[in-house]
Chains A and B, each alone.
Chain A
């Protein structure tokens, strides 16, 4: 094969190569620049041939090092690994290359040509940078987190791959102690909670829900932890590791326990008060009723006796309100779509029964199955309290209350307007009523407990209440309570 034919073949090979091929003379001037080099740098062959590699393509900050390496190469020193350099493209973008270099000598033993084959590793380099950044970010987060972050391998052997430094603060043991003894995590578990952890170690998939486990610290104190874990399977589906976060929830548990104790105490006290006071009320009421029926009891004192009896009834009523208040407070909220008519009707009937000496006329424009709201069993209680107040504060013997309902313009709420003909509520008193409703401060006099209960029930429903005058600008003509109840969605 002729010399020319060899050259042609070599040329075609160089051009077709998917790698960068560059030729340099002993002064670093470019003698060969293949198509791939053109593609990557944006320079044409004509633009680079004869120019110095260092000044044209090597970024200025790397130039000195690159020249140094080139000198060593000329001196016959072979690089220990494929050197990494970066090139600056024509448009000013930095790209990273990894090179393999071959040196050709002339007959005098002097370097005549240098050929380098390179691959563009910019994308790989960027991916590595991103990974390095993520790892660094994770390390900073993990090392500074209050929670313990860990990676525990299951296969091929059980051991901690990583435990964050927070473990020392939480358990009193440092990360090295966990690395040295993979079973330490089991040893420090409170004996009563051991089955939870053992179950999790047998079947790590069961450990993906947050678990509350007690640990015994190095100093002997018991702490509560919340553990949230994720299992890592290999490509065959075998579980190879578990990583997760352990949070010290001791303080949270203590607060919850204290709240529970306070709630139990409150329930106990309400129960005690309700039961024992009503037994006492029974004794007083019965004794007074006997006097009422005793023919020898002086007629002139009957009025006083009736007053005393009504006070006992009020006391019993207050106790009843406290019990209902407590029931609304502790009953879990489960709202449902319900017809507003039956609870309203039952409240109307209850109010009529409560005032046997008054003539109570309650009109309403709501029909059965006409309006549905999102509420629960306390809806009747809500209507009862407002209607009861309206009837109570109307001093006349004939009490008229009008109940009107319609949907708000956005159709999200049912508006129930309860209008009375009582003495009305001044603007000052309106503000006080609302502060009582929202602050849950109650008074034993007047409407305190009843309206506080109304506020509490509406809070359950996400409803609202407004107080206005029945006749605009004249509060003395009676009050108008507008209740907004979320419409019942089908």
Chain B
């Protein structure tokens, strides 16, 4: 079963992502509401999630910094960046995100991105 870790400061999005992934038979093994919490939680997770969904603008620590730190901890981690801010594309990919999708994202495109990452890597 594909395991997912959701990082976003929007509680509502956590709910809809979780519903969707559960419906599709994925397992949501972690949720964080800011970058700092994401890094802390990621360290404790064992096994590590197959996919991380990462927002950009979050309190305490932004998604680009969190991505860099998580990739530092586990260079094999697969992070999909989801942001409404297109200017984050370049820094996100430079920090180690493997995919960048602009919100609002259709689930079909999100699934495609997950599929590509899991098959490619």
Interface residues of chain A, those whose CB is within 8 Å of chain B, are 271, 274-279, 281-287, 289-290, 293-294, 312-313, 316, 323
Contacts and interface: CB of A to CB of B under 8 A. Distances in A.
Interface size class of B (residues with CB under 8 A): 10 to 19
Given A283-B10, A285-B104, A285-B106, A293 B23 contact: yes
Nearest to B20: A290
A323 B57 CA distance: 18
Given A281-B104, A282-B13, A312-B104, A290 B19 contact: yes
B23 A286 contact: no
Interface in B91-120: 102-107
B16 A283 contact: yes
B12 interface: yes
A289 B10 contact: no
A294 B22 CA distance: 12
B84 A294 contact: no
A275 B85 contact: yes
Shortest Cβ-Cβ A-B pairs, 10 listed: A278-B84, A286-B16, A282-B104, A281-B104, A282-B103, A275-B84, A283-B12, A285-B104, A278-B103, A289-B107
13 contacts: A275-B57, A275-B84, A278-B84, A279-B84, A279-B103, A283-B13, A286-B16, A286-B104, A286-B107, A287-B16, A293-B107, A294-B23, A316-B104
A129 to B, nearest CB: 69
Given A279-B10, A282-B13, A283-B10, A289 B20 contact: yes
Contacts of B84: 274-279, 282
A276 B83 CA distance: 10
Nearest to A293: B23
A275 to B, nearest CB: 5
Contacts of B102: 278
Interface in B45-84: 57, 82, 84
Interface in B10-57: 10, 12-13, 16-17, 19-20, 23, 57
Contacts of A290: 16, 19-20, 23
Contacts of A286: 13, 16-17, 20, 104, 107
A285 B13 CA distance: 10
A290 B19 CA distance: 8
Contacts of A284: 104
A362 B20 CA distance: 38
A282 B12 CA distance: 10
A270 B82 CA distance: 19
A143 to B, nearest CB: 55
Nearest to B19: A290
B79 to A, nearest CB: 18
| Most A Cβ at <10 Å: residue of B10, B13, B16 | B16
A69 B106 CA distance: 110
B98 to A, nearest CB: 20
Given A271-B85, A279-B103, 8 more contacts: A279-B13, A282-B10, A282-B82, A282-B104, A283-B13, A283-B16, A284-B104, A286-B17
A278 B23 CA distance: 24
Contacts of B82: 282
Nearest to A284: B104
Contacts of B105: 282
A284 B107 CA distance: 12
A19 B26 CA distance: 117
Contacts of B19: 290
Contacts of A282: 10, 13, 82, 84, 103-105
Scoring B16, B104, B106 by chain A CB atoms within 10 A of each residue's CB, the highest score goes to B104
Contacts of B85: 271, 274-275
Contacts of A313: 104
A278 B20 contact: no
Nearest to B10: A279
Contacts of A316: 104
Contacts of A323: 86
Contacts of A271: 85
B60 to A, nearest CB: 18
Contact of A289 (B13, B57, B106): B106
A274 B10 CA distance: 16
Given A286-B17, A290-B16, A290-B20, A278 B104 contact: yes
A131 to B, nearest CB: 64
A470 to B, nearest CB: 35
Contacts of B16: 283, 286-287, 290
Contacts of A293: 20, 23, 107
Nearest to A276: B84
A285 B20 CA distance: 12
A323 B86 CA distance: 10
A101 B86 CA distance: 96
